[in-house]
Amino acid sequence: MERVIAIEGDIPLLLIAPHGPDDENTALLGELIQAKLGCYLVANNGFERADYVDESKDKANCNNVEHCKQDIVKDEFLDPIVAYTNRIEQDFYSPNIFILHGMIDIPEKRGRDQLDMVLGYGEGNKKNSYSCDLDRKNAFVYALHRKGLGIYTGSGGGKYAGAGKNNLNQYFRKWEPNPNVHSMQIEIIHNLRKDKASLQVTADFLADAMSEYLEYVMAVESEENGKKSAPLPKGWVANWEAIAHQKPSY
């Protein structure tokens, strides 16, 4: 079995699963979404999460940029990410990256919305480091909302915010800055990826939401480039951005 799965795509979207052996079924989830969308995919399938890099023991934290910069992890994991991102930028202008993670199930509490996923985009406690344009974050939140998923956003400075310097979500902001790249991380509860049946349903929902998100991106980029604006995805309400903005954080 290869330690890292790298699959080329033909749309401006790259999926990354950095913790395949530890976040159960996230690598497989990436493969299922890739098969449906035809997007790019880089999935760690062999490096187990650790505080150090040891090639002989298949140890590394592929969500830690400092680990990703070390030779073996760079060759197998980071280099394909950079190559695919560059290819998307050349072909489509703006690369869109979604990083798939797993989180524990959160027991429901009275008065709290259902929590299925947490979206991290660089919200900080005192200082923000947004890994994507905020309108794109809102577009994806709304697309997930339309699929009936309980979506939260990562609270400022929290462990799901995707704001830390060494977090892979910040690679194209704090390490190799490129404002054309838009990255978000998705934390998915265990119940949505625990077995083959739930995994397929989750993959279908995520793929559909990502497809709608890309429709929105096409509309925005047509306008920005002085072309006739593409229409927003079918069925989006006028106040979609306000709905997305009002989602709770965790």
In the chain the domains, ranked by start, together with CATH numbers, are 4-245 (3.40.630.100)
**Mean pLDDT for the stretch of residues 191-205:** 96
**Digit-coded pLDDT (tens) for 134-165:** 999 999 999 999 999 999 999 998 999 999 99
Integer Cα distance of 6 and 77 in angstroms: 8
What pLDDT is attached to residue 107?
81
Helix H, strand E, coil C: the string for 65-133 is HHHHCCHHHHHHHHHHHHHHHHHHHHHHCCCEEEEEEEECCCCCCCCCCCCCEEEECCCCCCCCCCCCC
Integer Cα distance of 86 and 147 in angstroms: 31
Beta bridge partners of 117: 151, 188
**Mean pLDDT for the stretch of residues 182-192:** 97
Total-model pTM: 0.95
